[in-house]
Amino acid sequence: MIADFKNKTAVLTGAGSGFGLECARIGARLGMRLVLADVQQDALDSAAAELTALGAEVLALRVDVSKAEQVEALGAATLARFGAPHLVFNNAGVGAVGLLWENSARDWEWVFGVNVMGVAHGVRVFTPMMLQAARNDPAWRGHIVNTASMAGLLTPPNMGIYNASKHAVVALTETLYQDLALVTGQVGASVLCPYFVATGIQASERNRPADLAPGEATRSQLVGQAMMDKAVGAGKVSAAEVAQKVFDAVAADQFYIYSHPRAIGSVQVRMEDILQQRNPTDPFAHKPELGVELRKALRG
C-alpha cells in the first residue's frame, strides 16, 4: 500500500503508449518522479517531453524488456538517479492471434520474450532493491504491478500464444504476492487484467524485431486480427480509466485489477468447468453469432 505518491519514484515499461503512458500522466499529476521505458523511441521521446512539461522529473530510456541486460541497465540507472523505486509497473506487452499450430517459433519467442520474460526481468531486477529499501526504513512502502489480461484468466480461441503468456503473468504475479508476504509487509503486488481497451497493443507488430519477423499471415491470423481490431475499436473503457484503477488498487493494496468487472462471469464459468471436471464451456455461449462468424471464416 502506498498512501501518498508525492515525491515517490515510479518505473513504467511500455510507457510510450496505452496504460503505461496514462499511468505516467497520473504519476506526474501526483508529483512522482518517473522512469519511462519503451522500445519505440519516438513514442518514448514524446512521452518524456509531455511529462517533463507537466513538471515531472523524468528519466527516459529505450528498453527492450525481453533483453535481460537492458532491464538490468534500466534498474542500475534508476537506482543511480532516484534510488529504489516505490512503484514498478511491468506493463510492456505485445499481442498475437491465430490458431496455435499456425504460429511459428519466432511468434512464440517474440510474445513470450516481451510478455513473460519482460515481467520476469522487471521482478528480478527491481524487487531486491525495493526489499533493501524496506529493510533500511520501516516506513518505506513499495508496490509492483504486472500487466496480464483477461486472457490470463480465460482461454479464448484463436489467440493461444497470447493466452498462454498472460496466464503465465497471472501465475507469476500471484506467486510474487505470496513470496513477498513471506519476507516483508512493506512491498505489495497486483496484477492488471484488462479486457478490450484501446492501447495500441493490436498494432504490436510495429515494434517487432527484424530477427523475429513474421512469415506470411495465415487465414486464422488475418481473421483474428480483424476481430481484434473490431473488438478494441468498440471498447467503451479508456486506457486513462484503467490507469486510475491501477493507482486506486495500489493505494488500497488490492491484488486483482479489472477493467471490465462484468467479464468475471466468464472466469467463474471456467472455474466451475475445472471444479466439476466438465469439458470447457463454449466461449461464445453468450454471443453465439460470434462463434458462427469465426467458424465460418476459419473453415472458408
Domain limits for position 116: 9-261
What's the whole-number average pLDDT of the chain? 94
**What is the side-by-side order of every strand in the sheet holding 9-13?**
58-62, 33-38, 9-13, 87-90, 142-147, 187-193, 256-258
Q: In this structure, is residue 298 part of a structural domain?
A: no
Q: In this structure, is residue 276 part of a structural domain?
A: no
Q: In this structure, is residue 240 part of a structural domain?
A: yes
Q: In this structure, is residue 283 part of a structural domain?
A: no
| pLDDT on residue 202 | 66
Higher pLDDT, 220 or 184: 184
A 10 A CB-CB count for 268 gives: 9
- Whether residue 295 contacts residue 158, with contact meaning beta carbons closer than 8 Å, is answered with no
| pLDDT on residue 231 | 74
pTM, whole model, 2 decimals?
A: 0.95
| pLDDT on residue 262 | 87
Confidence check: pLDDT of 200 > 80 = no
Query: pLDDT (tens digit, 9 = 90+) per residue, 13-64?
Result: 999 999 999 999 999 999 999 999 999 999 999 999 999 999 999 999 999 9
- The verdict on whether 162 is a catalytic residue reads yes
Q: In this structure, is residue 108 part of a structural domain?
A: yes
Q: In this structure, is residue 165 part of a structural domain?
A: yes
Which residue is catalytic, options 162, 195, 256, 258? 162
Give the domain CATH number at 148: 3.40.50.720
Query: pLDDT (tens digit, 9 = 90+) per residue, 230-240?
Result: 777 767 889 99
Q: In this structure, is residue 2 part of a structural domain?
A: no
3-class DSSP state of 254: coil
State the total domains in the chain. Answer: 1
Q: What is the mean pLDDT of residues 177-205?
A: 89
- Whether residue 149 contacts residue 168, with contact meaning beta carbons closer than 8 Å, is answered with no
Angle at 210 (CA atoms; ends 205, 213), nearest 5 degrees: 60
Q: In this structure, is residue 133 part of a structural domain?
A: yes
